[in-house]
Structure 1
Amino acid sequence: MPATGAAGGPYHHGDLPAALIRATLEIVAECGVHGFSVAEAARRTQVSPAAPYRHFPDRSALLAAAALTIARELHATCEEAVAAADRPEDRLAAFVSSYVRSAARHRSCFALLMDADLRTCHPELKESTRALIDLQLPSALALAEPQTAVALLEALRCLARGYAALLLDGVFGAPPSVCDSVAARATRAARNLASGYVT
């Protein structure tokens, strides 16, 4: 017999962590990271205020789990974009474009990936960043010697995060309406950057 949440709605116990993560992403999207509370996530999933703590020890752990969900989606999206390009510089540019588009799509939730406190307390978030670097590494090595390739990856990371941050800050206008133009700018910048590192 299914368990019953605080508001009387049934839920399958095995799905509660996933439901809490979905609720967390909804709250962060609406209220930002600072507006998130475990109590509100519990209310939205119709469980008691104590129920989330059976799966996540604290607020930070639930936010980190939500951040990992975004990180996995980001990796999958970037991986698909990279696979669709042929030349190394085009693959790197496609990665940057996909990163910027993901930032526009997730908006407030994307900030979870850059939250310094979460990254310090949850090493798995740093590992997700490493996975993104590994996705770009073969293309960078195809263009340059290892030491230069590392410098290229550092520059590309700054470029991608910079465009994403400026987009989310509204520097270019409302994120949904300017996503295509900003992604195009980022793509050109990444391609130009990569061409300068060719050995």
Structure 2
Amino acid sequence: MSPKASPSGHHHGDLRNALLQAALELIRERGPHGFTLAEASRRAGVSVAAPYKHFADRETLLAQLATKGYREQQDRFAAALGVSEDPVEQLAAFASAYVRFAAEESALFDVTFHAGLDKSRFADLAAAGDEVARLLLPVSGRLAPDQDNAFDLLLRVASAAHGLAVFLRQGLFGTNDGALTDAEKKAARTARDIAQRYNG
């Protein structure tokens, strides 16, 4: 006999992933604050009690998604850093990859940065964010004179990329197929301008 499936067709062993996927769909439609666990349950085709087998509350589910968001960023940023040995160009590639992540993974971007999660509650989430920083800080550290300045440089580049990513999402660069490419180029150019000031 095959395992008994839930009404949605998901086997019970897939419940966690089904709920995470349903929540991502809702976040894409309404933002990270625009749904309840009960709605995610209905979207996944399971009972409203089902999420509590895996998630203590709604914030725990969101923290799982935000952790996934950081890990996706780490993979993308690591690939971006491989384009060059020049730290200025590496930061430019990081900024471009940041914008593309926001565009291609909009729900993960929103839950990672706009859900207002308390990282002190979620060790895995805090660790995932720290891993992204550990990946990038050595790059900015090759341009800055000390650790504080390295963090400041990375923060400036990331802040610029984040702002451009939000502008892109808001349609400030248009809605045609070239808008993402244009925003990526702007992010890379801005990152170079910031980084070259540290590079003398």
| TM-score (normalised: structure 2) | 0.87
Following the alignment from structure 2 to structure 1, what is the Cα–Cα distance between the partners of residues 113 and 149?
Answer: 25
1:126–1:166 distance in 2 versus 1, CA, 3 Å: farther
- Alignment CA distance shift 1:162-1:124 (3 Å): farther
> Aligned partners of 1:159, 1:111: CA distance in 2, in Å?
17
Confirm or deny that 1:32 pairs with 2:31: yes
Aligned equivalents of 2:169, 2:115: Cα separation in 1: 17
Which structure has the highest helix share of the two? Answer: 1
Q: Which residue of 1 aligns with 2:20?
A: 21
Deviation at 1:162, TM superposition (A): 1.6
Deviation at 1:123, TM superposition (A): 4.8
**Distance (whole Å) between structure 1 residues aligned to residue 62 and residue 117 of structure 2:** 8
Pair 1:90–1:81, CA change in 2 (3 A): same
| Cross-structure match for 1:183 | 184
**Where in structure 2 are the equivalents of 1:22-61 lying within 5 Å?**
22-61=21-60
Instruction: Give yes or no for contact 1:68–1:125 (8 Å, CA) kept in 2.
Output: yes
* Contact 2:88–2:195 under 8 Å retained in 1: yes
The verdict on how the C-alpha distance between 1:38 and 1:101 changes in structure 2, with shifts beyond 3 A counting, is same
Q: 1:14-163 alignment to 2 at 5 Å?
A: 14-115=13-114, 117-120=116-119, 121-146=121-146, 147-163=148-164
Please give the secondary structure, in 2, of the residue aligned with 1:186: helix
Distance 1:40 1:175 in 2: 33
- SS at 2:33's partner residue? helix
**Structure 1 pair 63–177 and aligned structure 2 pair: CA distance change class (3 A):** farther
CA distance in 2, matches of 1:85, 1:19: 39
Structure 2: tracts of 5 or more residues without a match: none
- Determine if contact 2:64/2:125 at 8 Å carries over to the other structure: no
CA RMSD of aligned residues (A): 2.1
Query: 1:176: Cα distance to partner?
Result: 5.8
- Quote the Cα distance in structure 1 between the aligned partners of 2:78 and 2:170: 26
Distance 1:109 1:150, change over 3 A: closer
**Paired amino acid for 2:93:** A
Give the alignment's TM-score, normalised by structure 1: 0.88
Percent identical among aligned pairs is 38
Matches of 1:24 and 1:115, distance apart in 2: 15
Counterpart AA for 1:169:
Q
Conservation of the 8 A alpha-carbon contact between 1:119 and 1:125:
no
Aligned counterparts of 2:160 and 2:44: Cα–Cα separation in 1: 38
- Number of aligned positions between the proteins: 197
What amino acid is aligned across from residue 188 of structure 1 in structure 2?
Answer: R
